[in-house]
Chains A and B, each alone.
Chain A
């Protein structure tokens, strides 16, 4: 497969979500917990090799690498019916076994790699009967997986939206739904550039019976995520002021001389918050040019 997909499952949360994800995927493709194709799915024309690869004995194996510093979640997985699904060679546990204890400096030294997440995403999922209903409800804050506080000072808005709609959908319905959303102004978009709701349609698995005709998943980039970072940053500042937990960090090589890494990280997050706030305003472009202009001088 060109452009192969490899799933990295990191830490407690990553592995827990990953576990549920593979359970679901196996069910949708008619693959048993052991990785063997179910009898009822042998005639299927679905492409399983996007997420799985086949071992010599025709077992389907997830294209996933499982990483964790502490063994609890992975042990749970390995004691479940899905234990035989994964390739043991793709599972990595810390030899120390104690975990990082919420200290990313420890994790940094153990794994030896720095992982950056650039894109911040709001996720919402909904199941309903019509495309419009699904798309409308996806935009409701109560259905979102990230809760952000309402900020009175900023006019927060969507930068981009992707809706993945699964089920029997008439393509003409999508257009009508988008029209309705625009008419009712259900989604507030950035004021400085063109933006819209991207829609991807996907087929439903024939092996799973659901009560809902249509289900949808929304991935969106919304400026209000900055309030979350802002809150985190303020909490960090409080801890930093009191020098809480810093002793643990100073034990690691990276922080032995100074705490510059922490300061520059704070700077990056602050920039992110600023940029999100700037993106809520129509003069986002000029803001970018001016802000950067200070750097030159």
Chain B
């Protein structure tokens, strides 16, 4: 059966949209069975299809009848049995024995039925159709497969293109039907409908057959796809047939020879002017088609050494045509470029998945281009081969002008592809996608569609990696194309902070940095749960298909605020982050540990710290290298047992430990002693070694200031106890008064520093931290809040680099306090010794007097008097002088300290100076301090 006939009929069926494929078949079979009635039916059908009045209908009707009778003669067998046997054989041959058996059964049933009268015709028709679809399958096989694969991975694109293809095919079928009506109108004997390139027709009608008889072929999917992807060719063909319609004249074969000889004559006449015979257009067309495929022709060749096509200057081509040809060859040049790129890249092992997708997308475009070439080729071939039999007008065959018009769209597309290759060359992964994305916002919808398609193919692997990462936390990125990088050598302890990072160059430009960070964070959180928290239940393994259903690949680069991808990412990010936080709070008791830090390392648990200091008071004045950790641990243990610390949970108390810092020469136990808190596992992610280091520094500073408070309160107790005893000694009262005076000033200072740290620094930052901890959305925010808390108190407690001088000054003041303690303790000792000696002498006198002897000898008395005088004349003035020096240097230092914090850039330190000089005692004594806190001073300083 001639293919073109069959196609023409199929197109008929298609144009009659409200009549399904099967009913059409029935019409036809009916028409073949009963002569006269069927003739009426055919007439009806023709009138229905053409929709014109009966007088114009006659030629069409005659053509239809002829066509039908032609088929009936082709199908000679009128024996139902023979046809059914043929079908069975065929099915068996195709190894579909089951189907064959089923067919026999169904056929048997059909025989019993009286509804269908023309069984053999129906069977015959169906059998013919099977052969057709098989043909289609073999011809379109590899592409069909390729597209099928493609469709599965991008639903959205499929939908979009199916729509467009539908509209194309509608348009096309309309064009075809019009073309047909025109050709029937001429009523000529052997009219071949050549307006549609036959290969195209085949593909297209094959598709529709499959839709009608899905059970006969199992390539339904593939044909739909080929339908969609061949749409652009269809579009071309439709254009062509439209054009055909416009020119509208199909001339009988006999006239063609005349016309073509006329053309040849014209050509030779023109060439005669140049001296070289002009080449016929068909040769030029062939040359151009060669060039389109990047192949050298006879006249049009790639110029060796130069990257361009060259037309043989001696060839008989006139200037205008030459220019036209050169313009056409540009397409070939670009094809060459794209093809070479694809070829070279497919052997590139470092290309990566994204690059491969890019090449695949290009190849897909190329195969469509090939199809166009095939169409053109067959068109050309038809013209040439049928020259002997058929003759059509110029407009009926392929011309250079037509070629130019038809290749306009492919030209633009190929140009765009070449441009893409230029800018994407050497790029891979997300960077490649970024580059492609930059071409997406093209005003030309066809280019936009092209780039969109290529991009959607290229993004596939990225999207796959991305969804794999955010759902299961696994990285499948052999070529380092994804924007999340992993460092496998990082141990699990620092997984959160160091193991995964953002590969900034690979972040596709259609994702914002915050999105990229969320992606990173989500996968990281899953890994964190799995590897650090050992929480395997947490992450639900998701069906990849569901993922795809949730958000399409294209939503990845659709920049709408509420795109599917954005919503999906947001939801998963939230879910995972919540899970991590929940795990941290509920399972790993983060807040309890945080509280433990505050209680023990930041001295929040007052009674415990005080008692610990009581217990360590004997131990820590020793030299640092004389300390034993186990002794100190024992002391810590008893301090816990005796205070409210005992009510803390055992897990927390177990982590509390003693630590001795690195000792330098001359350090005492006070300098190196520190509490420590062991953190591990998930909480170690928040309490990083750096954070713990900060805690230790803070402990050291707070512990020192606490010790000053402790020393001063001890001195106050001593003053209360001893001053009553010592005031009986001569000359001691001024010293007592002085000591009291200095002590009260020091107590004030230390208390205010303590108060500042406790309330202005610790309490305020703590309140802020608490609030942030509650409102944290993810672990990173929690970590950031904690670090901000530590930074804040480190700065305000004068432990940062900027406050180094102020801290040194503070330590110098603390040293003076220690010195004061030494002076006072020594003086108490001397005073107490003096009192004891006096008492001893007195009791000696009393004892001897009772025994009836002289109480005391003059010499003994003299020794005592000498000693008394020494105390009065030497010890007292020396101590007084020491105290004077100490007091004045102390006051100088405090004033300098106040000036330093007034000059400090951190305005929060004003709280401290405000407290230290609440009653403006120092301000009234120091003229510089009077101006230091004014606005002008601060401004001057800041400048």
Contact = CB atoms under 8 A, between A and B. Distances in A.
B719 to A, nearest CB: 11
Contacts of B763: 171, 201
Contact of A2 (B611, B764, B872): B611
Contacts, number: 101
Given A2-B614, A201-B759, 8 more contacts: A182-B918, A189-B919, A195-B921, A285-B741, A288-B734, A292-B731, A292-B736, A292-B737
A293 B734 contact: yes
Interface residues of B, number: 41
Interface in B833-885: 872
B827 interface: no
Nearest to B916: A194
Given A2-B642, A289-B734, A295-B731, A196 B915 contact: yes
Contacts of B642: 1-2
Contacts of B740: 288
A276 B849 CA distance: 45
A175 B911 contact: yes
Contacts of A191: 921
B142 to A, nearest CB: 76
Complex A-B, nearest 3 residue pairs according to Cβ-Cβ distance, in ascending order: A292-B733, A196-B918, A288-B737
Interface in B487-534: none
Interface in A184-200: 189-199
* Main SS class of interface, B: helix
Contacts of A118: 720
Nearest to A195: B919
B731 A296 contact: yes
A9 B161 CA distance: 96
Interface stretch (B297-305, B326-334, B359-367, B744-752): B744-752
A1 B611 CA distance: 9
A162 to B, nearest CB: 10
A47 interface: yes
A194 B917 contact: yes
Given A47-B644, A292-B733, A194 B919 contact: yes
A170 B921 CA distance: 28
B118 interface: no
A1 B919 contact: no
A273 interface: no
A172 interface: yes
A199 B911 CA distance: 14
Contacts of B730: 295-296
Interface in A146-180: 170-172, 174-175, 178-179
A3 interface: yes
A47 B647 CA distance: 10
A59 to B, nearest CB: 20
B564 interface: no
A194 B922 contact: yes
A174 B918 CA distance: 14
Contacts of A284: 741
A194 B643 contact: no
Interface string A280-297: 000011001101110110
A289 B737 contact: yes
B759 A295 contact: no
Contacts of A172: 764
B755 A198 contact: yes
B875 to A, nearest CB: 13
Interface residues of A, number: 35
A23 to B, nearest CB: 25
Given A1-B643, A175-B911, A295-B733, A193 B918 contact: no
Contact of A193 (B720, B748, B764): B748
Interface of A: 1-3, 47, 49, 118, 170-172, 174-175, 178-179, 182, 189-199, 201, 284-285, 288-289, 291-293, 295-296
B738 to A, nearest CB: 7
B914 interface: yes
Contacts of B918: 178, 182, 189, 194-197
Contacts of B744: 193
A171 B759 contact: yes
Given A174-B759, A178-B918, A288 B741 contact: yes
A189 B748 CA distance: 13
B281 interface: no
A196 B737 contact: no
A3 B751 CA distance: 20
A194 B748 CA distance: 7
Interface in B707-753: 720, 730-734, 736-738, 740-741, 744-745, 748-749, 751-752
Interface in B598-639: 607, 610-611, 614
A171 B767 contact: yes
Interface string B77-115: 000000000000000000000000000000000000000
A194 B921 contact: yes
A174 B764 CA distance: 11
B737 A193 contact: no
A198 B915 CA distance: 9
A2 B643 contact: yes
Contacts of A198: 751, 755
A212 to B, nearest CB: 22
B760 interface: yes
24 contacts: A3-B611, A118-B720, A171-B759, A172-B764, A174-B759, A175-B760, A178-B918, A182-B918, A189-B918, A194-B749, A194-B922, A195-B918, A196-B752, A196-B918, A196-B919, A197-B918, A198-B755, A199-B755, A199-B759, A288-B740, A288-B741, A289-B738, A293-B734, A296-B731
A288 B872 CA distance: 18
A190 B918 CA distance: 11
Contacts of B760: 171, 175
B745 A194 contact: yes
A193 to B, nearest CB: 5
A194 B926 CA distance: 13
A42 to B, nearest CB: 15
Contacts of B922: 194
Interface in B695-713: none
A47 B644 CA distance: 8
A179 B759 contact: no
A136 to B, nearest CB: 15
A1 B608 CA distance: 10
B736 to A, nearest CB: 7
Nearest to A294: B733
A190 B741 CA distance: 12
Given A2-B610, A47-B644, A198-B751, A292 B734 contact: yes
A8 B915 CA distance: 35
Contact of A296 (B738, B755, B872, B911): B872
Most chain A C-beta atoms within 10 Å of own C-beta, residue among B744, B767, B918: B918
B610 A3 contact: yes
Interface in B868-923: 872, 911, 914-919, 921-922
Contacts of A2: 607, 610-611, 614, 642-643
Contacts of A285: 737-738, 741
Most chain A C-beta atoms within 10 Å of own C-beta, residue among B611, B741, B872: B741
A131 to B, nearest CB: 12
Contacts of B607: 1-3
Contacts of A193: 741, 744-745, 748, 921
Contacts of A291: 733
B64 to A, nearest CB: 95
Contacts of B614: 2-3
